[in-house]
Amino acid sequence: MEHTVTASRAARHLSDLLNQVQDKSSSFVITRNGKEVARLTSAPRRPKATLRRLVEELLAKRTGDPGFADDLERIQAEQPTLDDDPWAS
């Protein structure tokens, strides 16, 4: 339900107004000199975060790098090889 309150009343009773918005899903039109200047309503509720949702979002945004496997093979080929016995002097 939407209610109208003056700016001075809203300032004096902000905590109470916030409780009504949170607990009773009320909303308020705040006026000054009889003109609407603001609205106080509940924030949009976000869906609960879950691991499944995170994975789905990450997979949806994933972009592959077609050259990634080639880069790994090149890096591996450039690595120096060790002797059979690294402790031999």
Q: What is the pLDDT of residue 85?
A: 73
**C-alpha torsion angle, residues 15, 19, 22, 28 (rounded to 10):** -70
Q: What is the pLDDT of residue 54?
A: 87
Q: What is the pLDDT of residue 89?
A: 63
| Residue 63 is assigned to a structural domain of this protein | no
Question: The whole model's pTM is what?
Answer: 0.51
Helix (H, G, I), strand (E, B) or coil at 50: coil
| Residue 28 is assigned to a structural domain of this protein | yes
- What's the total number of domains in the chain? 1
> What is the domain range of residue 32?
2-40
Q: What is the pLDDT of residue 24?
A: 86
* pLDDT tens digits, one per residue of 27-83: 999 999 999 999 999 988 877 889 998 888 888 888 778 888 899 999 999 988 776
What's the CATH number where 9 sits? Answer: 3.40.1620.10
| Residue 8 is assigned to a structural domain of this protein | yes
